[in-house]
Structure 1
C-alpha cells in the first residue's frame, strides 16, 4: 500500500538521534527509488511487529541505519500515516540461522519526532531487549560451534540466570571465570555464593553481559544463560501484532 509522500526530514532526525544515544553512533541515510529497494536493508530488521508490518505493507521511500562502534545497528524510518512519529528497530547480527532458534525478536518501537525523547525511549526500552536477545543468540552460536577437546579437569563454564527482579545471577565454576565477572561489573553475594548484575540500569547491565561473554569466550569458558524457573522464554518482545501479509525476512 503506497504511503502519502513523506515530507519528514528523516536524515536530520537520524543524525540528531545518533548524537543523543549513549555511546558512539554514526548515521547512514538511504532513499529508495522503487518499492523493492527498501528490502535490501530491511531483511535484517529484527522485528515481527510494527516495523516489519510497515516494511511489508507500505512504500517507505527512505530509511536510515545507525551503527554503534561495537557493531550494533538500528533501523529508522517514518511511521506510515503518523506524521509525528518514527519507527525504530534493531537489526540482527550476522549469525548462522540456527543461533536464532528459540530467541524472541526484540521488536521495534514507535518514537516521537523529537531526538531527545526518542533516544530516551530507545535506551530505556529497545536496547535492553536487544542486549538480552543478543546474549542468547551468542550463547546459541557458541553451542553450535565446533569445540576443542575439554581439559582433563572438565570444561569450565559460567551459568547465568535471569532472576524475577531483573538481576542476572551468575555461578562461575572457577576463580578465572569469577575474576572476569568481577572485572565486568558483577557483584559477589557471599551468602548465596553467586555473582549478580543489578537490573536497575538495563543499559549498563547489557554492556556488562556483552563484555563478560566476550572475555569468557576468549578464555575458552562456556556461558549458559537460563531463565528463572517461574519465567517463560526470554522477555525480549512487546505484545504481538497481527502477522503482515508479506513480512520482511527475520531471523
Structure 2
C-alpha cells in the first residue's frame, strides 16, 4: 500500500469558501468545518462520501488536512475539500444517506460522483446545483425505492408449504417448518391431528381466499415457497360465468 502524498502549504481558506458556497445553494444550510488533527480524521469525516471517482481518489491519495460538511435542513449533506495540486479549485461530493437505510439498498445504484468546482463560490454554487444535485436526487430516489421494496428471498425447497384442496372445499396445508406453521395458524389454519395437516375451512370462500393470499405473502417474506394442488371442487363451488351485458346478475353467499 502506497503512502499518502503530502501537499505543500496551501493558503486557501476552505472554511470561508464552504460558508459562502452554502449561501449560493437553494435552501438553508449549516456548515461544519473540520481541521484534521491527525491523518485518520480525514477518513472519519469522509466515510460516507458518495463517490468512486475524483473525490474518493483525492481522499485516498493525498493528506488533505481539512474538510467541511454542508448540511441542509432536510438532511442532505455535501462534502467539501481542497482539490490537490489545483490551487484555484475545490472538490464537492454528496454524502450518502445512512439513517434507516440498509447497505443492500445501494446495490446497483450508480454513485453521484463529486465534481471539481472553481474557487469562486458563486460559480461553484451554480455547478453544484446544475450538475451534482440532480444526479444526487436520482440516486437518492433509487436507493429509497430499493429500501422500501427489498427483493424477496428465493423459496427454499426444504421449507415448501404444500396446500391441497379437499372435496369438502377446505384447504389442507402440510409443512415441517415451525415459522411456516406459525404463519398458517395466524392466518386461520387449524391443526388437524388425524391428517397431520393444517386445515382452512371453506365455509366462507372469500375469507378463505384472503387467508390464503395473506399466508402466501408472509411465507414469501420468510423465503418459504407455496405449492397449491388443485383437485376437482364440488359443483356448487364452480365459478359462475360472468353475466352478459343486460343480463341480471345474481349472487350467493356460503
Aligned to 1:18: 22
Report the alpha carbon displacement of residue 144 of structure 1 after superposing the two structures with TM: 2.5
Report the alpha carbon displacement of residue 4 of structure 1 after superposing the two structures with TM: 1.4
Could you tell me how far apart the structure 2 residues matched to 1:72 and 1:138 are? 14
Aligned to 1:101: 107
Per-residue Cα deviation, 1:170-207 (whole angstroms, up to 9, x for no partner) = xxxxxxxxxxxxxxxxxxxxxxxxxxxxxxxxxxxxxx
Per-residue Cα deviation, 1:3-51 (whole angstroms, up to 9, x for no partner) = 1122100000000011110111111100002211111111100000110
Which runs of structure 2 are paired with 1:79-158 in the superposition (5 Å)?
Answer: 79-94=83-98, 95-144=101-150
Aligned to 1:172: none
Report the alpha carbon displacement of residue 145 of structure 1 after superposing the two structures with TM: 9.3
Query: Helix, strand or coil: the match of 1:35?
Result: coil
Gap runs ≥5 in structure 1: 155-251
Query: Given the alignment, which residue of 27, 35, 52 partners 2:39?
Result: 35
Q: How many corresponding residue pairs?
A: 150
Per-residue Cα deviation, 1:128-167 (whole angstroms, up to 9, x for no partner) = 0000000000000001299xx9xx7x9xxxxxxxxxxxxx
Could you tell me how far apart the structure 1 residues matched to 2:26 and 2:6 are? 35
Query: Helix, strand or coil: the match of 1:144?
Result: coil
Could you tell me how far apart the structure 2 residues matched to 1:96 and 1:87 are? 27
Could you tell me how far apart the structure 2 residues matched to 1:34 and 1:85 are? 24
CA RMSD of aligned residues (A): 2.0
Could you tell me how far apart the structure 2 residues matched to 1:36 and 1:48 are? 19
Runs ≥4 residues deviating over 3 A: none
Q: Which moved more, 1:1-10 or 1:51-60?
A: 1-10
Could you tell me how far apart the structure 2 residues matched to 1:4 and 1:34 are? 17
TM-score (norm 2): 0.57
Could you tell me how far apart the structure 1 residues matched to 2:41 and 2:129 are? 29
Query: Helix, strand or coil: the match of 2:34?
Result: strand
Query: Helix, strand or coil: the match of 2:97?
Result: coil
TM-score (norm 1): 0.57
- Asked if the contact 1:6–1:78 (Cα under 8 Å) also holds between the matched residues in 2, the reply is no
Query: Given the alignment, which residue of 2, 6, 9 partners 2:6?
Result: 2
Gap runs ≥5 in structure 2: 153-186, 188-209, 214-254
Per-residue Cα deviation, 1:31-81 (whole angstroms, up to 9, x for no partner) = 002211111111100000110000000000000000011000000000001
